[in-house]
């Protein structure tokens, strides 16, 4: 299991155990970074 997978699993667990909105912010930031990376 790679480090990225472990990080994503721990992040998902923290999202489920503590739904305080910080998870949504992180997901949005990652999504924005992905869009920027895909753009030429």
Q: How far apart are CA 22 and CA 40, in angstroms?
A: 30
Looking at residue 40, its pLDDT comes to 64
- pLDDT at res. 11: 76
Cα(22)–Cα(31) distance, rounded to whole angstroms? 14
- Count up the domains in the chain and report the number: 1
Residue 4 CA to chain centroid, in angstroms? 10
pLDDT of residue 18: 67
Domain extent for 9: 3-38
Provide the pLDDT for residue 15: 73
Residues 1-40 have pLDDT tens digits of 688 888 878 877 777 776 667 777 877 888 888 888 776 6
Query: What pLDDT does residue 10 have?
Result: 80
- The whole-angstrom separation of Cα 4 and Cα 1 is 8
N- to C-terminal Cα distance for the chain?
A: 31
């Amino acid at each position: 299991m790679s480090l990225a997978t472990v990080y994503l699993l721990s992040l998902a667990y923290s999202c489920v155990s503590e739904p305080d909105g910080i998870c949504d912010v992180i997901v949005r930031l990652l999504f924005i970074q992905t869009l920027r990376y895909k753009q030429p």
